[in-house]
Amino acid sequence: MASIRQFQVTFDCANPERVARSWCEVLGYVVPPPPKGYADWDEFDRTLPPERRGCWFACVDPSGVGPRLFFQRVPEGKTVKNRLHLDVRVGTGLVGEERLAVLEAECARLVALGAVRVRLLRADGVNESCLVMQDVEGNEFCLD
């Protein structure tokens, strides 16, 4: 029998701290404390060689249940559709107009934080409605 392992989800991006902080707002995640001996992440970052400063950032589920999200700076920009995306479960168990109202309300909150609404995928008899969105750097995710 296989054991369950923890995992993290890693994002390639241009500005790791900006993207991480936006996902904190989306998911209710928090920035973990800095390494021991540092007052904050800026103080830690200043100890790194210039080429390594600001090259990564992370956020975590404060309850410890969800995976850690890790954001790493890469030189190239996003050019094609994500091969993997997050489904942010805000309408679980809801159907029809009630579900759409919850999705639209969360969409409005996230757009105010810098996300972009892409399109609404309406219920099709098999799957319920969901909203395709993009984060502050264009990474797709769904409000589901």
Same domain, 46 and 96: no
Contact present, 66 and 30 (Cβ < 8 Å)? no
Whether 2 is covered by a domain: the verdict is no
CA dist 144 and 130 (Å) reads 5
Contact present, 72 and 10 (Cβ < 8 Å)? yes
> How many Cβ atoms from other residues are within 10 Å of residue 136's Cβ?
20
The whole domain housing 52 covers 8-73
What are the backbone angles phi and psi of residue 23, rounded to the nearest 5°? Answer: -70, -30
Contact present, 67 and 7 (Cβ < 8 Å)? yes
CA dist 39 and 84 (Å) reads 35
Number of domains the chain is built from? 2
Task: State the alpha helices, DSSP H only, in the chain.
Answer: 16-27, 41-46, 96-112
- pLDDT tens, N- to C-terminus, the chain (144 residues): 666 677 889 999 999 999 999 999 999 999 999 989 999 999 999 998 998 889 999 999 999 999 999 999 988 877 777 778 899 999 888 999 999 999 999 999 999 999 999 999 998 877 899 999 999 999 999 999
Same domain, 23 and 61: yes
Same domain, 105 and 60: no
Same domain, 69 and 90: no
